[in-house]
Amino acid sequence: MAKKWDEAYRLFQSAEMGALPTLYASTEPSLSGGEYIGPGGKGAKRGYPALDPAIDGIDDPIIAGRLWEVSEQLTGILYSFQSHS
């Protein structure tokens, strides 16, 4: 059992460390908004908060729309939002 915990420790981090990117993103005055903050360690899986390079497609409205459609289909929950613009 100890070996499994050792392996998990290498892959994951504590809840406290996991919360740091969110805290950093919400309180760091030098950020303008829209940046992706994640763990700054090897493979972006562990470590202190760091600015993460943009992930391809993360801000693509077509991909976002398709994800929304699939989510509604899979959950059976439909939302009708109105534009505020």
Higher-confidence residue of 71 and 8: namely 71
Cα angle 22, 26, 32; round to 5: 120
Q: By three-state DSSP, how is residue 76 classified?
A: coil
CA 56 – CA 84 distance, rounded (Å): 27
Domain regions of the chain by residue span: 2-75
Q: What is the pLDDT of residues 29-60, one digit of tens each?
A: 999 988 889 999 888 888 999 998 767 777 88
How sure is the predictor about 85, in pLDDT bands with cuts at 50, 70 and 90?
low
Query: Which of these, 28, 73, 69, lies nearest to 48 by C-alpha position?
Result: 28
